[in-house]
Structure 1
Amino acid sequence: MSYQEIAKNMIDRLPDDKMIFVINMLEGLGEMSGLDIHPDFQPNAATVAAMAETDEMIKTGNGQHFEGATEELFSRILEE
């Protein structure tokens, strides 16, 4: 059995709520090795639109900008 097969077998035995730890370890190993091991990701239409809106805001200097504590930002968001 190869190392990859052993790792896959071990992963299959882990509960879903522990998979984030495996992902974090794999990301760290990939970074240390200089490898891009992230899976291919295709954002949905809403995400693409939001990224385009953000790019436009950066280019034009428009939009809201917040400076302050994160707690204050979330408080304002929850008020809306």
Structure 2
Amino acid sequence: MSNRELCVKLLENVPDYKIGYVLAYIQGLTADEDADDAFCEKLVDEYENDPEKDVSYTLEDCKKEWGLS
């Protein structure tokens, strides 16, 4: 029996209330890696092109802004 066949057979014994967990796990396993890579690259590009990424603030400035002084 192949692993695929064994998985299908085991699914027959999974209670309905647990099928959602199995589905979520399988969806995670079969996620589109290319789409995930493209999303991550977009995040990196946005960060690298953010004009405020190199702005720094002193601890005192942060405390004042957060109302902690």
TM range (shorter): 0.3 to 0.5
After TM superposition, the score normalised by the length of structure 1 is: 0.39
Give the greater-gyration-radius structure (CA).
2
